[in-house]
Amino acid sequence: MKANKNKTLTFASCIALLMAFFLGSNAQAETEDAAAFYKGKNIRWIVPYDPGGGYDEYARLIAPYFAKYTGARIRLDNKPGAGGMRGVNELFASPDDGLTVGIINGSAMVTNQLVGIQGAKYKIEEFKFLGRIVADRRVLAASIKDGFASFEDMIDAKDEFKIGATGLGGSTYVDAVVIGEVFKLRQNLIHGFDSSSVIRQSMLRGDVAAMWGSAGSAADSVDDGLNKVILQSGKQRSPDLADVPTVMEMMDRVNASAQDRDLVRAWQGLNDVGRPVASPPGTPDYKLAFLREAFKNAMNDPEFLKICADTGRDISFATGEEMNTIASDAAVMPDAVKEFFIGAIKGEL
Amino acid sequence: MDMLAAFGSGLSQALSLEVFPYLLVGSLFGLIIGVIPGLSGHFAMAMAIPFLYSMEPNAGIAFLLGAHATVAQGGGITAILFSTPGTGQNAATLLDGPPMRDKGLAGQAVGAALMSCFMGATFGAVSLALLLPVLQKVVLWFGPPEIVVLAFLALTFVAVLGKEDMNRSLIAGFLGLFLSMVGLDNVTNQERFTFDMLQLTDGLALVPVIMGLFAVSEITDLWAKGGSLTGNQVKPLSARETQKQIFEGIGLALKHWWLVIRCSFIGTVMGLIPGLGSAPAAFVAYGHAKQTSKTKETFGQGNIEGVIGPEAANDAVEGGALASTIAFGIPGSSSMAILLSGLFILGMETGPRMVSEHADIVFIMIFTIVIGNFIGTVVGSFLVNPLSRCTFLRSSILVPVLIAIVFTGSYAVNREVFDILIVIVFGLIGYLMKTLNYSRAAMLIGFVLGHAIEKNLYLSIKLSGNFFFLEPIPLVLSAITLIFLIYNLWPQKSVPTAPAQKKEA
C-alpha cells in the first residue's frame, strides 16, 4: 500500500512539474514560436480579382519580399467575383491560424458596408490589418480635343459635357457625383460601361469627354496627348502628377462651403483606406505582430521600392495599427454627408 | 521602325534560339489545355503569368501567345472526338463534328479542323499585320452603336440555324437571351434572378453552361443509349485508316479555301470588337457556311463545311482581338486582359507607341500565332490517333471518365463549387433540349450575345440618341440584317417541309 502511494505521488508530482513547465514557458516562447511557426509553411494570399489586374499585380510584386521576411512560401489565390466581395467574404471566413492573408479593395468594402449591401459577409472593423500597400489616388482624365485642358475649363464650361462611369454606385460613379456636386459641374454622367478600358475607348472616339479612375490605371494608359489628367485627389500632389491640381486646391479657388468641404473630407477618408492587406478576425496577437513586422520590412525593402519606382507603381505604406484608425475613421462622417454618400452609391443622385 | 525591317526582325527573332523553344513549349502547353474540357485560353494565360517574371520579353511573348494560339485547336479535337467542346469557341464544331465521327470519318473531321484553324489563324495574323498602319482608326470605328447592330446581326443567325423548326429555335434563342440577364446589372444596380446568391451576382459563368449544355448532355445521352461514342454501326478504324483520313481532311480544308477565307474574315471582324467573345464568331461562321453551301440539308449530319467554317473563324478571332488590344492597350476579352498584364510584367507598353517604336515585337506576336498554330496542327494530327481509339471504348468506361474531366475543368475556371451545380443543371436542360429537338446552339447564341446587345443598346441611346442606327456603319449593318432576315424568313414553297424528326441543330 505504501509503495503504491509513493508511486502515485511521484507520478502526480511529475505531471504537476510538466504542467508548470509548459504553462509557465508559454508566454515567452510565443514570440520565438511565431518565427519558427512560419518557417517553411504555406501562406495563402487571397486576391479578390483576376490575374492581371492592379490588385493582382501589387500582390505579385510584394509576395516574394513578404516570403523573405516571414520565411514562409506565399501562394497567391485569385478569387474574383461580385466586385471583389467574394474574395473578402472568403478572407473573413478563413481559419484564424495565421496562414491566410488577403489584399482587399478597402474603399469599396467600407462603402459596401455603409450602404448595407446584401452579400457582404464581413465587418471591415473586425479584420486584423497587416498594413496598407497604397492609398487610392483618384484622378480625372479629360479629352483635350473636347476643350478640357485644365479643370478650370471644366468648371467654366458653357455646355453640358458627358462623363463616363462604370457601374451605378461604383467608385468611378461616386467620384463623379461627389466632385460634380461640389464644383457644380455641368456634367451628364453616363454610367453602365463594362470597364474603364471601354470608357477610355469611348473617350478616344469622342463619345464622352472625361472619366474618373485610379491613378494607376490612368498611368497604364497611353493617350499620347489626346487626353490628360486634370484633377487628382489627395492632400498633396503626387510626384508623378506634379502639374495637376488637387481637389483641395481647387476648393480654395472656388471658395467651397463648409458642407462641401465635409463631403470632400469624407471622400478623401474613403480613398485613404486604399488597398490594405489583412488577416481574418481571431488571428492570434503574436502571429499578427510577426506578420505586421514582416509586411513592414517587405514594404520598406530597398529592392522592392526600386521595382515599384521602375514600374511606376505608387506606394503609400501604413502600418496595421494605423490601418485600424484609417478604416474606422473612414466610416465616420456627419449625417448629412453620410446620407449624400448612401444616395450616391444607391444611384439616387 | 519601318514595316519591312520590323517584319524581318520579327521573323528572325521568332525563330531564334532564345525565343523558339518558348514558342514550342507554349504551343504544346496550349494544345493540351485546349484538349481538356473546360480549360480555356483564359486559363492557359493565367497559368502562364507566373513564369513570365523570369523571362526575357521576346521569349515571354512567344510563350504567352503560343499557349493562347493553340487552345482552340486542342478544343476542336475534343469537340469532334468526344462531343465535348474543349473550350467555348469550339461549341459550334459540335454541330457537325461528332456526326462525322459517327459516320466513321473522325480523322477527316479532325484533319480539316486543324488545317482550318491554321489557315484561319494565319489569316487573322496577316490581317493584323496589314492593319497595323491604320489600326487605331479601325478599332475606333466600333463603338456602342456599331457593336449593338453587329451583335444583333449575329443573333439573327439563329434564324439560319433553326430553319427546319423556326418556332423551337426562336424559343431556345429567347431563352438564351433571358438567361444572359441573370446577375447584377450595373446600369440599375439591381440584382436580376440571383435569388440572393452571391455566386450568381456575376451571372451564369459561360464555361460551366457550355459544358453542361453540350458536354454533359451528350455524355448523358451516351450513357442512356449505351454502346460506344461512335455507335455500333461503324467498325473501329485502324491507325493507318485514321492517319489517311487526317491527310484527306487537311486536303479538304485546302479545297474549300474560299470558305475558309470568308469565315476567317468573319472571325477577324468579330474579334476586333471588344466584349463579344469568341464563341459568337464560330456560330456566325457556321451559319454563313450553311447559308452558302450547296448541300445545306446535310448540315447537322456530318457536313465537313460545318467543321471547317467554325474552326477557321475561332482561330481568326485571335488576330482581331490582338489588334484592338495592342492598338490602344484596351483588352478585347479576358484573356487579352491577361496578355496585357503579361506585357506589362515584361516591361512593354502597348498603344500607339508600341506600333511605332516596337513594331518588331508586334511582328514576333504575328509570327508566334502562325508558327504556334502550325506546331499545333502538326502535333495535333499525331495526337488524334491515340485519342480516337478512345471513342470506340464502351460507354461504361468512357462516361465516368468524361464526367470527371468535365467537372474538374468547369471547377478550375473559378474555383467555385457552385459552378459544378450549374454544369449539372444545364446538363439536364441540355439533355431535355436534345431529346425534345430544341436547338442548343440557338440558346447559346442568345446567351452569349444577350449582354452585349442589352448593354450596348443602352449606351448607344444614351450617347447617340434614339436614332443611333442612322449613323453610317450601323446603317449598313442594319440593312444587311434586314435583308438577311427577309431572305431567311420568307416562306419558300420550293423547300420541302421537313419532318419533325429531323435532327436538331
**Model ipTM?**
0.81
Q: Look up the CATH number of the domain holding residue A331.
A: 3.40.190.150
Cell of B222: 451516351
Examine the domain organization and report whether A286 and A257 are in the same domain: no
Q: Which one of A52, A80, A202 has the shortest CB-CB distance to B341?
A: A52
At which of A269, A288, A308 does a domain end?
A: A269
pLDDT at B503: 47
Examine the domain organization and report whether A73 and A90 are in the same domain: yes
- Give the whole-angstrom CA distance, residue A336 versus residue B440: 53
In a domain, A346, yes or no: no
Which residues in chain B land under pLDDT 50?
A: 493-494, 499-503, 505
CB contact under 8 A, A200 and B351: no
pLDDT at A182: 92
pLDDT at B501: 45
The DSSP call for residue B435 is H
A 184-223 residues inside an 8 A Cβ radius of B: 190-194, 197-198, 200-202, 204-205, 207-208, 220-222
Core vs surface per residue A120-146: b (16+ CB within 10 A) or e:
bebebeebbbbbbbbbbbbbbbbbbeb
Examine the domain organization and report whether A187 and A106 are in the same domain: no
CB contact under 8 A, A201 and B140: yes
Examine the domain organization and report whether A118 and A265 are in the same domain: no
Q: Which one of A60, A86, A200 has the shortest CB-CB distance to B330?
A: A200
pLDDT at B163: 67
CB contact under 8 A, A194 and B275: yes
Q: Which one of B143, B337, B415 has the shortest CB-CB distance to A52?
A: B337
* More confident call, A47 vs A310: A47
Examine the domain organization and report whether A198 and A88 are in the same domain: no
The DSSP call for residue A119 is T
Nearest residue of B to residue A53 by CA position? Answer: B341
CB contact under 8 A, B140 and A167: no
A108 neighbourhood in chain B, CB within 8 Å: none
The structural domain count of chain A equals 2
Cell of B30: 496550349
In a domain, A8, yes or no: no
**Cβ atoms A346, A337 nearer than 8 A:** no
**Cβ atoms B172, B433 nearer than 8 A:** yes
- Give the whole-angstrom CA distance, residue B301 versus residue A55: 49
pLDDT at B8: 82
> To 10 degrees, what angle do helices B239-255 and B257-272 make?
70
Chain A nearest CA to B410, separation (Å)? 15
> To 10 degrees, what angle do helices B106-131 and B359-390 make?
170
Return the residue in B137, B336, B343, B463 with the most chain A beta carbons within 10 A, the one to mutate for interface testing.
B463
Q: For A139-178, how does the pLDDT look when each residue is reduced to its tens digit (9 = 90+)? A: 999 987 787 889 999 999 999 999 999 988 888 999 999 9
Q: For B365-381, how does the pLDDT look when each residue is reduced to its tens digit (9 = 90+)? A: 888 889 999 999 999 88
Examine the domain organization and report whether A253 and A279 are in the same domain: no
In one-letter notation, the amino acid at residue B353 is R
In a domain, A144, yes or no: yes
Please give the model's pTM, rounded to 2 decimal places.
Answer: 0.82
B415 touching chain A per CB within 8 A: yes
In a domain, A28, yes or no: no
In a domain, A85, yes or no: yes
CB burial class (10 A; 0-12, 13-18, 19+) of residue A25? Answer: exposed
In a domain, A152, yes or no: yes
- Considering only the C-alpha atoms of chain B, give the largest distance between any 2 of them, rounded to a whole number of Å: 66
Strands (E) in B144-189, as ranges, are: 183-185
At which of A253, A269, A285 does a domain end?
A: A269
CB contact under 8 A, A202 and B349: no
Return the residue in A201, A227, A342 with the most chain B beta carbons within 10 A, the one to mutate for interface testing.
A201
Nearest residue of A to residue B338 by CA position? Answer: A52
In a domain, A348, yes or no: no
Q: Look up the CATH number of the domain holding residue A250.
A: 3.40.190.10
pLDDT at A225: 65
Q: Which one of B140, B353, B415 has the shortest CB-CB distance to A222?
A: B353
What is the domain range of residue A248?
138-269
At which of A269, A298, A330 does a domain end?
A: A269
Examine the domain organization and report whether A131 and A279 are in the same domain: yes
- Give the whole-angstrom CA distance, residue B338 versus residue B43: 10
pLDDT at B180: 93
- Torsion sign, CA atoms A166, A167, A171, A174: positive
**Cβ atoms B278, B266 nearer than 8 A:** no
CB contact under 8 A, B186 and A192: yes
pLDDT at B226: 76
In a domain, A111, yes or no: yes
Examine the domain organization and report whether A144 and A125 are in the same domain: no
Strands (E) in A144-239, as ranges, are: 161-164, 187-190, 210-214, 227-232
CB contact under 8 A, B189 and A169: yes
The residues, any chain, with a CB within 8 Å of residue A168's CB and separated by 6 or more, are A191, A192, A347, B186, B187, B188, B189
Examine the domain organization and report whether A48 and A159 are in the same domain: no
Examine the domain organization and report whether A88 and A126 are in the same domain: yes
Q: What is the 3-state secondary structure (H, E, C) of B342-403?
A: HHHHCCCCCCHHHHHHCHHHHHHHHHHHHHHHHHHHHHHHHHHHHHHHHCCCEHHHHHHHHH
B334 neighbourhood in chain A, CB within 8 Å: 50
Other C-beta atoms lying within 10 Å of the C-beta of residue A346: 13
- Give the whole-angstrom CA distance, residue B473 versus residue B479: 10
A53 touching chain B per CB within 8 A: yes
Examine the domain organization and report whether A254 and A143 are in the same domain: yes
**Cβ atoms A208, A164 nearer than 8 A:** yes
Core vs surface per residue B389-405: b (16+ CB within 10 A) or e:
eebeeebeebbeebbeb
Q: Say whether A342 sits in a helix, a strand or coil.
A: helix
Examine the domain organization and report whether A121 and A194 are in the same domain: no
CB contact under 8 A, A81 and B198: yes
Other C-beta atoms lying within 10 Å of the C-beta of residue B416: 20
